[in-house]
Amino acid sequence: MAVKDLKIVGQPVKLRDLDTHVTGETVFYEDVRVPRLLHLKMHRSSYSHAKLLSIDTSAAQASPGVVLVLTHEDLPGKKVYNALVGAGVGPEDEPILAFDKVRWKGESVAAVIAETPEQADAAAAKVKVEYEELPAVFDVEEALKDGAPNVTAHWPNNHYIYPDDHKGAQVRFGDVEKAFAEADHIVEDSYQTQPIEQAPMETNGCIAVPEGDGRITVYSNTQALQFSLDTAAGILDMPANKLRFVGGTVGGGFGGKVDIMPEPITTLAALRTGRPVKFKYTRDEEMRVSSSRSAWRVYIKDGIMNDGRIIARKVTTYQDSGAYLRFSSYASMKHCGHMPGPYSIPNVWVDSVVVFTNRTPSNAMRGFGVMAGSFALEVQMDKIAETIGMDPWELRLINAYREGDMKSHLKPVEDAGMVETILSAAKLAGKELPANFQNMSSLDRKAG
């Protein structure tokens, strides 16, 4: 079949909402206009780890324009949540408003609802919270040591326990220790990434509008509309069919708008006041308290033969989840399966550990779990090439997956194209490869 006969592949495809984006006619949640709109602002923790001894909202409640102040005592249903609990991933460990401790700097403590954003902001600053500061931990390996400050009672040892009682997501394929003993070279190194904020043009936010029939309509830019609705229903102890969430248009998300933090508290505020309420992160909040891509620490040990074949790869990684779980266990599973890389290695050992620290909780961002692994692996490949004196392009071609190879998580390779991708990139880069490498194919390891 010729490319011209294909409807999608190889053909220009116009984005469905391109015209309205270009003309400025796209409707975002902030374009919703409702009368008597109130505004919500948060009082946030100034400590990374502390007991909550008391919360005094009297000065805030007496401030000009203030209609309502909410604390954890006003939550009618669940005080904690986890968006993935419906999929069997738990437990519910994160509060909408802190009630026993604060576990990261910037955690929500009290919500102030007022006539204007400025009035709400001024009143939020008047909330008085008495804390007992606790020791905090900010490094993944320090968090795992005996005697480290415990971040959350859900995880006494500061790491996630998978349902099979494993400390981390695991891959066991072949015998790495035997292969290390047989290898001509051993290359070991460690790699560290930092949290990365998605920085969307449009910050997280929503508007909750009470309807005449007792329902609440929430206009949101969340990337997790159903998760947000279900979580709000649980926290508010109300039937899900009493909530109507409207979304779909997101002014940049990249994974950063699966936090589902604004919707439950804004919906509660609308229920309690009987008026529409808007909660919008400032740019400062978006950068400081919106979840980021998590930081990772990656240790890699490879066994290599003189001809460039990698015969063993052992990987231990620590994912900094921050103070709560969110989607970190899912990211760790993806990370673990990806860690051998797009290479056929007969002996693989991987441990991927989710660690809790007193940092801002992390969450999704564009291939989260995979990107940090890819960075570490490809730098490691260059170090291998340097160690054995081999061209890094040729090293990758020798080890690249071929069709039908067995991956370390026991899934056969299908639709392999790694070799062809490398060869195309080499051609575009002006890289001259020997003929035997240029003749390689993802369909046949012997080719070339």
d(CA 77, CA 79) in angstroms, rounded, equals 6
What percent of the chain clears pLDDT 70, i.e. is strictly above it? 98
d(CA 172, CA 2) in angstroms, rounded, equals 43
* Tokens 């240029």, residue located: 438
Entry pTM: 0.94
pLDDT classification of 322: cutoffs 50, 70, 90: very high
d(CA 135, CA 148) in angstroms, rounded, equals 9
Decide: helix, strand or coil at residue 343. strand
pLDDT in tens, 372-384: 999 999 999 999 9
pLDDT at 1 over 80: no
Identify the pLDDT of residue 163.
76
Cis bond upstream, residue 149 (ω within 30): no
d(CA 307, CA 375) in angstroms, rounded, equals 24
Phi, psi of 253 (to 5 degrees): -135, -60
pLDDT at 91 over 90: no
Strand 128-133 versus strand 295-304 pairing type: unpaired
Q: Are 121 and 282 in contact (CB under 8 A)?
A: no
Residue 89 contacts by C-beta under 8 Å, 6 or more apart in sequence?
A: 82, 325, 329, 330
Identify the pLDDT of residue 83.
82
Identify the pLDDT of residue 15.
85
The token pair at 308 is 């460039």
d(CA 183, CA 14) in angstroms, rounded, equals 52
Q: Are 361 and 324 in contact (CB under 8 A)?
A: yes
| DSSP label at residue 5 | G
Measured between alpha carbons, how far is residue 290 from residues 82, 124, 324 in Å? 16, 19, 13
pLDDT classification of 358: cutoffs 50, 70, 90: very high
pLDDT at 178 over 60: yes
Q: Are 54 and 112 in contact (CB under 8 A)?
A: no
Identify the pLDDT of residue 212.
86
Identify the pLDDT of residue 160.
95
Residue 242: how many other CB atoms lie within 10 Å: 15
Identify the pLDDT of residue 447.
53
Q: Which of 7-16, 130-139, 217-226, 406-415 has the lowest mean pLDDT?
A: 7-16
Q: Are 154 and 89 in contact (CB under 8 A)?
A: no
What percent of the chain clears pLDDT 90, i.e. is strictly above it? 86
pLDDT in tens, 235-286: 999 999 999 999 989 999 999 999 889 999 999 999 999 999 999 999 999 9
What domains can be seen in the chain, in order of their start residue?
Answer: 29-134+198-288 (3.90.1170.50), 169-196+291-416 (3.30.365.10)
Identify the pLDDT of residue 59.
98
